[in-house]
């Protein structure tokens, strides 16, 4: 696993700038583009303690997540007053299971995720440095059933103006990472001058984008 300490420290110090208190409105708006069926199995890589897990579990019978930090996973269940079953798995992971939700602690690359139909990637691909992204995309592809879809929320800004994470992963790189997918850009929101990334961090431009990736 690469650079786990960075993330463990973030959780230990409660530095959670990426965490949203509510369900991501982009998920609510664009999930229908994945043509979701209740039976479709869903995977949320690098899930943190996202409220999006709760929203997805209301719409699907089987939602898996994986998150490096034990603190994050425990906080997720405690904050929702859910009492999960906790099962150790081969010394490297724990599975927290509650109704439709199965959340694994530990590394995405070794967690025993079962194949899924739809992946929801928000603040996951863009959390990883360039040298990890090919392995990450290959791991995601290996977990997708035929006909699988990915809803991807990405960021586009001049990388040299700010050190990630979050990193900029622009359209061209998404095509390079997922060449065998049909890729549709569903949304691009160009930040205005009042956006914190421009007003405080001094970026010259910053955009949030949503993509639908469909495998054949
Ligand atoms: C930017 S956060 C995003 C969390 C969540 N997707 C959200 O939208 O709130 C990235 C998360 O990925 C986790 N992470 C980083 N590398 C990981 C890995 N190799 N396996 C599993 N989780 C990882 C970190 O602990 C962190 O919580």
Residue 43, judged by CB atoms within 10 A of its CB (0-12, 13-18, 19+), counts as buried
Distance from the first to the final alpha carbon of the chain: 30
Whether the CB of 49 sits within 6 Å of ligand 1: no
The confidence score (pLDDT) of residue 90 equals: 87
Residue 150 CA to ligand 1 center (angstroms) comes to 17
Residue 27 CA to ligand 1 center (angstroms) comes to 17
The confidence score (pLDDT) of residue 2 equals: 57
The confidence score (pLDDT) of residue 1 equals: 46
Task: Please report the domains of the chain, with CATH numbers, ordered by start residue.
Answer: 4-12+23-215 (3.40.50.150)
Whether the CB of 98 sits within 6 Å of ligand 1: no
Atom of ligand 1 nearest to the CA of 3: 16
Question: 166: number of CA atoms within 13 Å, CB side?
Answer: 22
Report the alpha-carbon distance of residue 188 to residue 163 in Å, rounded.
22
The confidence score (pLDDT) of residue 20 equals: 96
The confidence score (pLDDT) of residue 141 equals: 98
Segments in the chain below pLDDT 50? 1
Whether the CB of 51 sits within 6 Å of ligand 1: no
The confidence score (pLDDT) of residue 3 equals: 83
Report the alpha-carbon distance of residue 203 to residue 158 in Å, rounded.
8
């Amino acid at each position: 696993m690469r650079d786990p300490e960075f993330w463990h420290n973030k959780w230990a110090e409660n530095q959670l700038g990426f965490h949203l208190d509510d369900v991501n409105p982009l998920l609510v708006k664009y999930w229908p583009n994945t043509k979701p069926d209740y039976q479709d199995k869903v995977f949320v890589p690098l899930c943190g303690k996202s409220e999006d897990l709760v929203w997805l579990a209301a719409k699907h019978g089987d939602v898996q997540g994986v998150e490096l930090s034990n603190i994050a996973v425990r906080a997720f269940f405690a904050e929702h007053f859910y009492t999960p079953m906790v099962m150790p798995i081969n010394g490297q992971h724990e599975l927290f299971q509650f109704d439709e939700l199965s959340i694994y602690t530990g590394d995405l690359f070794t967690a025993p995720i079962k194949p899924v139909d739809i992946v929801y990637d928000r603040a996951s691909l863009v959390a990883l440095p360039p040298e990890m992204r090919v392995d990450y995309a290959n791991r995601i592809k290996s977990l997708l059933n035929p006909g699988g879809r990915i809803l991807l929320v990405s960021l586009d800004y001049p990388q040299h103006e700010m050190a990630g994470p979050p990193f900029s992963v622009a359209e061209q790189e998404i095509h390079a990472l997922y060449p065998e997918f049909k890729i549709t850009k569903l949304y691009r929101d160009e930040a205005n001058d009042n956006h914190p990334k421009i007003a405080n961090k001094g970026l010259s431009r910053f955009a949030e984008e949503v993509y639908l990736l469909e495998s054949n």
